[in-house]
Amino acid sequence: MKPSKTKKAENSKTNDLAKNTENGQGEFLTTNQGLRINDDQNSLKAGERGATLLEDFQLREKITHFDHERIPERIVHARGSGAHGYFELSKSMTKYTKAKFLQTPGKRTPVFVRFSTVAGSRGSSDMARDVRGFAVKFYTEEGNYDLVGNNVPVFFIQDAIKFPDLIHAVKPEPDSEMPQAASAHDTFWDFISLTPESMHTIMWAMSDRAIPRSLRMIEGFGVHTFRFVNEKNESVFVKFHWKPVLGIHSVTWDEAQKISGKDSDFHRRDLWEAIETGNFPEWNFGVQIVEEKDEFKFDFDLLDPTKLIPEEIVPVQIIGKMTLNRNPDNFFAETEQIAFHPGHVVSGIDFSNDPLLQGRLFSYTDTQLSRLGSPNFHEIPINRPIAPVHNNQRDGHMRQTINTGQSGYNPNTIVNNSPVQAKAMEGGFVSYNERIDSNKVRARSKSFFDHFSQATLFYNSQSDVEKNHIVDAFRFELGKLESTAIRERVVSMLTKVDKMLAANVAEGLGIPVPKAEQFLNQNIPADGDPKKYQPINVKSELKSSRALSMTTTVKDTVKTRKIAILAADGVDEDSLNTMKHALEAAGASTKLIAPNLGNIATAKGKQIKVDQSFLIASSVLFDAVYVPGGKRSIEILKEEPDAIHFINEAYKHCKAIAADGKGTDLLYLTAAGIKILNENKGEETHVAYGILLNRSSKEFIKAIAHHRFWDREKTGKVPA
């Protein structure tokens, strides 16, 4: 789709200062010094066929700039997509926090959001199995607040000092630089097999949460426990949640791998197109509040980032909604140059002592220095706060601000001590005065040693289908390893999560289930007693949690879903249009797919424009398939192997499939039809399987909203 420009949203931050007029429309071409250029097509030469002259400042400026166009990509989360929007508060948080943007219902705050994968390079596929980053910059009147979270509520490690090891293990192996954007290799699983604290997050990463259908359909979590602080300087603990209005949906692993080949920009394109077509992605914003007095009432430690607070124990209160309504004008200037930092807070939001969070507070400014190249990265338009900035910091690479006057220090009399410090009541940030009184130690609290109870809780909360997908993900990932010893260590660790899970994974790998005792915890200081460092077993009271399964998510809308309509010359116009219009009226989009581009002629001779040929289209890029009637159209499609494959593949991926009139004949040549003939179970069963023959558009819409018909996976696999 050719990018068109959305109308500028009123509530979005505008960075007009540095914005060039639309590609210099109607302006003269100039050098960077403003000199008008007469010939930008030829370099300056000694004669038409002679050597190029060193004097050609115009050529040198252009090439030098080009040579320096790339900057270092992010060491993690390099692959990302972003958008502008706003956050609107619906419930006042005055009781808990003095943060101004959380006071008055109806208040809108501009935001920029960047979604990302963690492991891959900037050019890698969107569909890698990976945790997704979910970073939100709120441009508040009191300064920028960054909520730099993920789509998984927990993390692999408990202490920041282990982060470089984790990332070195998951990134491509250093000798061969393989594999790209994939955790299915020896170094990652070697590290995991020796790091039992990773087990809870590993369960999420092996679930379908790690292969989302759309970035618009992922949850977001602040992960760490933070603090809210109110005007009276009272504090509560808080966990942050983003809940997608369209529900949480994923693709299958087979699909994800195929999408990576067919359209490695799948998520980026989906986000861009949704915003361009006015289908603005939305998330409800929620908080879990824990009073300070309740800090120790849980069977896990609130400071441990490998733990979540089950919603059954502390419900999520929805306090507002975020809407993304404007695509970036320039990917590099905005999405690439945006610099997030968990330490960008406003008064009323503060940190807990989570040792992972504490390390992050150092890391993010530091990384911007090497990535963006200067301590002045806050002056890049996308990073500028809307709140005024005044301080005595000066100079540095690429300084934009021209500070005037004599003073660059404090205290001073020259400008009456300006800029002056703000009292707390004037918005001056005062750290929460938590009492800390202890010995200086390099240690981890014993309360962090339960590594399995929430991994088990997560697994127990999944439906059978979700569990099967987790088993398959482990079989795939571990199956790719060269080392059998690493496989065995991981499976031995899985026995601590769930014995059946371990047995099923082991069966797929063709190994016996190793004993749990075999696993090694090597996160032990040189002088540490290994026995003291082994995980402890905690039996959590909660057996399962609804919020952890995707089966309980929103399933009543087809908004923005993509439906493929397969047709050829001779298609029945009514059969095509009735369904197409009903789907579009319900908010879905349709694409007409035919053997060739151009037009097809309907049975009545009307010309209809084809959107994609079978060469370009692929079922993995769609949510559902419809085959309208029309004798000739179906005769042509029957001879088109790609049409048969299209339906087989959609069937394999459990998508809704509908056919009308003669269209049903085509279905009988595919896995979908064969299944119906073989089972001979009657119409209602077909509908329950998401196969709709001559059914109403209403029923098809309901089936698409259901997302997938996983029961098909249980009853025998199909080729595709």
Shortest Cβ distance from residue 300 to ligand HDE (Å)? Answer: 17
Q: Binding to ligand HDE by residue 89, rule CB under 6 A?
A: no
How big is the chain by its Cα radius of gyration, in Å? Answer: 28
Q: Binding of ligand HDE at residue 661 (CB under 6 A)?
A: no
Measured CA to CA, the distance from residue 55 to residue 33 in angstroms comes to: 16
- Find the shortest distance in angstroms from Cβ 462 to ligand HDE: 22
CA–CA separation, 461 and 498 (whole Å): 12
Question: Is residue 13 within the footprint of ligand HDE (CB under 6 A)?
Answer: no
In degrees, rounded to 5, the angle at the alpha carbon of residue 486 between the alpha carbons of residues 485 and 492 is 90
The DSSP result for 549-615, as a single string, is: -GGGS--S--TT-EEEEE--TTB-HHHHHHHHHHHHHTT-EEEEEESSSSEEEBTTS-EEE-SEETT
**Secondary structure of the chain: what % helix, strand, coil (to 5)?**
35, 15, 50
Q: Is 114 in the site for ligand HDE (CB under 6 A)?
A: yes
- Residue 199 sits at the vertex; the CA angle it makes with 535 and 308, to the nearest 5 degrees, is 95
- Of 14, 121, 163, 695, the one binding ligand HDE (CB under 6 A) is 163
Which member of 15, 144, 150, 325 is catalytic? 150
Q: Which is nearer to ligand HDE, 222 or 629 (CB)?
A: 222
Contact 123, 79 (CB under 8 A): yes
CB of 350 to ligand HDE, least distance (A): 16
Q: Could you give the string, one character per residue 332-371, with x where binding to ligand HDE holds by CB under 6 A and - elsewhere?
A: -------xx---------------x--xx--xx--x----
Q: State yes or no: residue 128 binds ligand HDE (CB under 6 A).
A: no
- Residue 3, Cβ density class (10 Å: 0-12 exposed, 13-18 middle, ≥19 buried): exposed
Give the whole-angstrom CA distance, residue 224 versus residue 418. Answer: 37
Residue (of 101, 103, 104) closest to 87 by Cα position: 101
Q: Would residue 150 show up in a list of annotated catalytic residues for this protein?
A: yes
Min dist CB 210 to ligand HDE, Å, is 14
DSSP letters along 160-173, please?
GGGHHHHHHHHSPB
Tokens (6 digits) for 691? 């196969």
* CA distances (Å), origin 303, targets 47, 295, 447, 619: 72, 9, 9, 44
> Which of residues 205 and 558 has its CB atom nearest to ligand HDE in the complex?
205
What one-letter code names the amino acid at 429? Answer: F
The one among 12, 13, 77, 583 contacting ligand HDE by CB under 6 A: 77
Residue 149 lies near ligand HDE (rule: CB under 6 A):
yes
Q: Which of residues 676-705 bind ligand HDE (CB under 6 A)?
A: none
**In DSSP terms, which residues pair with 284 in a beta bridge?**
243, 321
The answer to whether 381 contacts ligand HDE (rule: CB under 6 A) is: no
Across 348-403, the runs of DSSP E, i.e. the strands, are 349-351
By CB under 6 A, the count of residues binding ligand HDE is: 25
Among 6-14, 21-29, 69-77, 655-663, the segment contacting ligand HDE (CB under 6 A): 69-77
Q: Is the CB of 77 or the CB of 496 nearer to ligand HDE?
A: 77
Q: Which of 89, 111, 127, 135 binds ligand HDE (CB under 6 A)?
A: 135
Return the HEC string of 497-508.
CCHHHHHHHHHH
Q: What element of type H or E holds 365?
A: helix 355-371
| Touching ligand HDE, residues 600-639 (CB under 6 A) | none
Task: Select which of 15, 77, 325, 451 is catalytic.
Answer: 77
First to last CA, the chain: 28
Structure tokens at 162: 């282990």
- Rule CB under 6 A: is residue 204 a binding residue for ligand HDE? no
Segment near ligand HDE (CB under 6 A); pick from 68-76, 211-219, 382-390, 678-686: 68-76
Beta-sheet strands, E only, within 151-293? 220-221, 226-229, 235-244, 282-291
The answer to whether residue 650 forms part of the interface with ligand HDE (CB under 6 A) is no
Q: Which residue is nearest to ligand HDE (CB)?
A: 133
CB of 55 to ligand HDE, least distance (A): 42
Nearer Cβ to ligand HDE, position 159 or 569? 159
CB of 73 to ligand HDE, least distance (A): 9
3-class SS at 281? Answer: coil
CA dihedral 55, 60, 62, 64 (to 10 degrees): -160
* 80 in contact with ligand HDE (CB under 6 A): yes
Smallest gap from Cβ 355 to ligand HDE, in A, equals 8
Q: How far is the CB of 80 from ligand HDE (least distance, A)?
A: 5
Kindly state whether residue 160 participates in binding ligand HDE, applying the rule CB under 6 A: yes
- Segment contacting ligand HDE by CB under 6 A, of 75-83, 94-102, 605-613, 629-637: 75-83
Decide if residue 147 touches ligand HDE (CB under 6 A): no
By C-beta, is 155 or 272 nearer to ligand HDE?
155
Subset of residues 25 to 54 that bind ligand HDE, contact rule: CB under 6 A: none
Nearer to ligand HDE, 339 or 465 (CB): 339
What are the tokens at 325?
């309504």
| Binding flag, residue 213, ligand HDE (CB under 6 A) | no
Query: In whole angstroms, what is the distance from residue 367 CA to residue 561 CA?
Result: 38
Q: Which stretch binds ligand HDE (CB under 6 A): 95-103, 145-153, 246-254, 579-587?
A: 145-153
Say whether 416 is catalytic. Answer: no
Closest CB 382 distance from ligand HDE, rounded Å: 11
Hey, what are 56's tokens?
A: 């050609």
List 37, 75, 389, 616, residue binding ligand HDE (CB under 6 A): 75
Please identify every residue annotated as catalytic. 77, 150
The site for ligand HDE (CB under 6 A) is made up of: 74-77, 80, 114, 116, 133, 135, 148-150, 155, 160, 163, 223, 305, 339-340, 356, 359-360, 363-364, 367
